[in-house]
Amino acid sequence: MREITYAEALREALREEMKRDERVIILGEEVGVFGGVYKVTQGLLEEFGPKRVIDTPISEIAIIGVAAGAAMSGLKPVAEIMYMDFLTIAMDQIVTQISKMRFMSGGQLKVPLVIRTQYSLGRVHGAQHSQFFPSWFLQSPGIKIVLPSTPYDAKGLLKSSIRDENPVLFIEAGILYRTKGPVPEEEYLIPLGKADIKRKGEDVTIIAFSRCVLEAIEAAKILEEKGISAEVIDPRSLVPLDLEIIINSVKRTGKVVIVADDVKNGSITAEVAMLIIENAFDYLDGPIVRVTAPPLPTPFSPVLEKQYMPSKEKIVKAVLENFSF
Amino acid sequence: MSIQVYEGATLDCLRENPIEILRKMLLIRIFEEKVEELFLVKGMLIGPAHLYLGQEAIAVGICSNLKKEDIVITTYRGHGHAIAKGVSIKKIMAELFGKKTGTCKGLGGSMHVAIDVENGILYATAIVGSGIPIAAGIALANKYQGKNLVTVCFFGDGAVNTGAFHEGLNIAALWRLPVIFVCENNLYAMSTHISRSLSSKSIAERASSYNMDVFIVDGNDVLSVYKLARELVEKVRNGIGPFFIEARTYKMKGHGVYDPALYRDKEEVKRWLERDPIKLFKEKLIKENIITEREFENLRSEIVKEVEESIDFAIKSDYLEFNELYNLVWV
């Protein structure tokens, strides 16, 4: 199969969905003439014109607000927020407006929009351009949360997100844009809420999100050399979450490590851990172990940033120190 | 782009019977008075509610120029806009009671009661200013789809100091979107007088800096509001926009139903109550021999009865079953 990058896979998804459905428009900062700050939307302005690929001012509130209004009036906007950190500027629109619209209108409104954003942890961007806080949105029922880790998943999940009739927060990992992977030429979709077992194993279950999936796979390879068979599960979406695959794996292995790039306090790993306790407590052989960023802002210094981030070494260490096989 | 003071409209600007305009204003007035009574006297309603008393001429003057499919976006002070846009008062009252026969099945309450998609009143937000970019997005979608629909976005004077106002107006003007922004300047954001919140000389002046035509109108003069809206709606329907209206008016009561508004100067209140928009319009119609005092009283009695019926309807309606809530988050 051909190999393309994560960014190219995303671009293909956008292009295919725009060709398929005239209601799909893109809006955001630098998405048109500049082609996207990380070139995900490159060439789309030329192909689809300024009516469908809309450069906006630096106005995050309006980017999401306009997308919400357009979505409730028959379009399917894909709004890009350049860095995940900038979501905070539009939190009212995301959390208090779009996530609530359907519910508080008694089911009258429908807001089918995608917010594409990326977090740049690992790219030496410092404290204000590296944040990853998907757990905040778990407190906001009404918006789906998607976290692709491979080019294949990125494309299939983005296409499904655009076709979804609900708001979707699609969080890309900036550090993965140039990673390559197999992506078929023919069309495919990946349903939201379907986890993927990235590596089968019998001794320990490693559940990892976004960039950390790649670290978990590398960790599993190291563990294999030590005679430990690790299963790596990528939930791919946090809302909806495929609890079934996770629980089935935990029931087999009895040992769980959960890995994500957010800071430990209130991390998405805490939510997954609690769901496992609620649903498979009797099957656990030991504590649920988490590998996350520490509760600190992201340091700029490249050396310190590396120490700050979850890594394959930290995952291996967590497995070896907490479990006996 | 200019700021114009718009005034002096006469009855001949109306395309409909003036009594119908009066009736709509009076319906809002009596509905709101009943709502106030249900909260403060009868204790049958609880939670926040922000009454439209005193501002009736704005919703009626503008919405009377809109088609059913034209879009209105409003705020938590939205009972009047819902009525003016043609939503049945039974559905509105039932929503205030939290019943499943309400516009939002009782999930929105007073602050979101003005969401009724079938009547083109698409959104009512309880966060000040937040509807402005949403209205721009609606106008963008309608323009994109070649629909000749007019979008009207109502908000108060407090909204003009929010970031959403700035971002929304900038984008609407930059992209020349077919939308009319209507700022109902009732002088107070909660208790804060505009002189304590606005750095610009006026709201109109601030709006004009976004490079759009701005109109100042007496929001208690229904004919001037109507005539201005008539002109702008026609332009917007032909794809010209955006426009901004600062309608100057006054809340007859406080910010919310429980607010006695003691922070206002008594003389100021008295002056504005003399300019009650319904009183002014009624006097005009009597002077022009269009209605008599007795006919006005008959009209009032009819409306009181209609509002009483809406209360009966609401009381007799059921609540949604809790389990049904789970079906209303996702499509």
A92 with B130: CB under 8 angstroms?
A: yes
- Predicted local confidence at residue B313, as pLDDT: 98
Percent share of chain A, pLDDT over 70: 100
B190 with B48: CB under 8 angstroms?
A: no
Does B323 map to a domain? no
Q: How many CA atoms lie within 13 A of B300 on its CB side?
A: 14
Domain boundaries of chain A, sorted by first residue: 3-182, 196-322
Interface test with B, best of A22, A53, A61, A114 (most B CBs within 10 A): A61
Confidence of residue B185 (pLDDT cuts 50, 70, 90): very high
Residue B233 in tokens: 């709606």
Interface test with A, best of B128, B169, B171, B177 (most A CBs within 10 A): B171
Q: Is A97 on the interface with B (CB under 8 A)?
A: yes
Strand order in the sheet with A114-119: A53-55, A24-28, A76-81, A114-119, A168-173, A144-146, A237-239
CB contact under 8 A, B117 and A65: no
CB contact under 8 A, A96 and B130: yes
Q: Is there a common fold for A3-182 and A196-322? A: yes
Distances (CA, A) of A144 to A99, A243, B280, B293: 9, 15, 52, 59
Q: Is B325 on the interface with A (CB under 8 A)?
A: yes
Choosing from A129, A199, A211, A290, which is the catalytic residue? A129
Q: Which residue of A has its CA nearest to B109?
A: A104
154-183 in A: which are within 8 Å (CB) of B? 165-166
Residue A106 DSSP SS3: coil
Q: How many CB atoms lie within 10 A of CB B162?
A: 18
For residues B253-258, give the mean pLDDT.
Answer: 93
Residue B1 reports pLDDT greater than 80: no
Categorise residue A210: left if φ over 0, alpha if ψ from -120 to 50, beta otherwise.
Answer: left
CB contact under 8 A, A106 and B328: yes
CB contact under 8 A, B145 and A57: no
- CA angle (A44, A45, A48) in 5-degree steps: 75
A255 with A321: CB under 8 angstroms?
A: no
Query: Angle, to 10 degrees, between the axis of helix B18-40 and the axis of helix B89-96?
Result: 20
Q: What is the DSSP string of A145-184?
A: EE---SHHHHHHHHHHHHH-SS-EEEEEEGGGTT-EEE--
Q: Which residue has the tokens 């172990």?
A: A289
B172 with B242: CB under 8 angstroms?
A: yes
Specify burial of residue B42 (Cβ count, 10 A radius: 0-12, 13-18, 19+).
exposed
Q: Which residue of A has its CA nearest to B153?
A: A69
Does B224 map to a domain? yes
- A196-322: CATH topology is Rossmann fold (3.40.50)
Q: How many CB atoms lie within 10 A of CB A10?
A: 28
Residue A4 DSSP SS3: strand
**Using a CB-CB distance cutoff of 8 angstroms, which residues of chain A are in contact with residue B174?**
57
Categorise residue B173: left if φ over 0, alpha if ψ from -120 to 50, beta otherwise.
Answer: alpha
Does B330 map to a domain? no
Q: Which residue of A has its CA nearest to B98?
A: A106
β-pair partners for B5: B216
- CA angle (A55, A60, A65) in 5-degree steps: 90
CB contact under 8 A, A74 and B140: no
Nearest to A26 by CA among A48, A6, A5: A48
CB contact under 8 A, A66 and B134: yes
β-pair partners for A277: none
Q: Which amino acid is at B251?
A: K
- Predicted local confidence at residue A222, as pLDDT: 98
Residue A208 DSSP SS3: strand
18-37 in A: which are within 8 Å (CB) of B? 25
**Using a CB-CB distance cutoff of 8 angstroms, which residues of chain B are in contact with residue A74?**
141, 145
CB contact under 8 A, A62 and B167: yes
pLDDT in tens, A28-60: 999 999 999 999 999 999 999 999 999 999 999
Write the DSSP symbol of residue A297.
P
CA pair distance A229, B13, nearest whole angstrom? 82
Write the DSSP symbol of residue A266.
T
Categorise residue B261: left if φ over 0, alpha if ψ from -120 to 50, beta otherwise.
Answer: left
CB contact under 8 A, B107 and A72: no
Percent share of chain B, pLDDT over 90: 99
Q: Is B123 on the interface with A (CB under 8 A)?
A: yes
CA pair distance A155, A143, nearest whole angstrom? 20
Mean pLDDT for chain A overall: 98
B101 with B317: CB under 8 angstroms?
A: yes
Q: What long-range pairs does B192-200 form, CB within 8 A, spacing at least 24?
A: B192/B158, B194/B157, B197/B157, B197/B158, B197/B161, B198/B157, B198/B160, B198/B161
Minimum-distance CB partner of A105 among B104, B163, B170 = B104
Q: Which domain holds residue B69?
A: 3-317
Minimum-distance CB partner of A70 among B103, B137, B163 = B137
Q: Is A72 on the interface with B (CB under 8 A)?
A: yes
Residue A157 in tokens: 């999940």
Q: Is B176 on the interface with A (CB under 8 A)?
A: no
CA pair distance B246, B194, nearest whole angstrom? 13
Domain count, chain B: 1
pLDDT in tens, A150-197: 999 999 999 999 999 999 999 999 999 999 999 999 999 999 999 999
Q: Which amino acid is at A323?
A: F
Architecture field, domain A3-182: 3-Layer(aba) Sandwich (3.40)
Q: How many CB atoms lie within 10 A of CB A224?
A: 14
Nearest to A157 by CA among A185, A195, A121: A195
User: How close, in Å, is residue A251 to chain B by CA atoms?
Assistant: 29
For residues A268-273, give the mean pLDDT.
Answer: 98
For residues A211-216, give the mean pLDDT.
Answer: 98
Give the CATH number for residue B84: 3.40.50.970
Does B326 map to a domain? no
Residue B225 reports pLDDT greater than 80: yes
pLDDT in tens, B101-134: 999 999 999 999 999 999 999 999 999 999 999 9
pLDDT in tens, A95-108: 999 999 999 999 99
Nearest to A153 by CA among A120, A183, A116, A117: A183
- CA angle (B306, B307, B308) in 5-degree steps: 90
Minimum-distance CB partner of B138 among A73, A101, A107 = A73
Nearest to B245 by CA among B208, B198, B192: B208
CB contact under 8 A, B331 and A166: yes
- Predicted local confidence at residue A311, as pLDDT: 98
Q: What is the DSSP string of B201-254?
A: S-HHHHHHTTSSEEEEEETT-HHHHHHHHHHHHHHHHTT---EEEEEE---SS-
**A129 carries an active-site annotation:** yes
CB contact under 8 A, B145 and A103: no
Q: What stretch of H or E contains B4?
A: strand B3-6
Minimum-distance CB partner of B105 among A51, A56, A106 = A106
49-78 in B: which are within 8 Å (CB) of A? 71, 73
Give start and end residues of each alpha helix (H) in A22-166: 44-48, 60-72, 91, 99-104, 151-163
User: How close, in Å, is residue A228 to chain B by CA atoms?
Assistant: 41
Residue B191 in tokens: 């208790």
For residues A213-234, give the mean pLDDT.
Answer: 98
For residues B128-153, give the mean pLDDT.
Answer: 97
Strand order in the sheet with A196-199: A196-199, A230-234, A204-208, A256-263, A289-293
User: How close, in Å, is residue B80 to chain A by CA atoms?
Assistant: 18
Minimum-distance CB partner of A102 among B102, B125, B331 = B331
Residue B2 DSSP SS3: coil
Residue B88 reports pLDDT greater than 80: yes
Residue A323 reports pLDDT greater than 90: no
User: How close, in Å, is residue B122 to chain A by CA atoms?
Assistant: 8
pTM of the model: 0.97
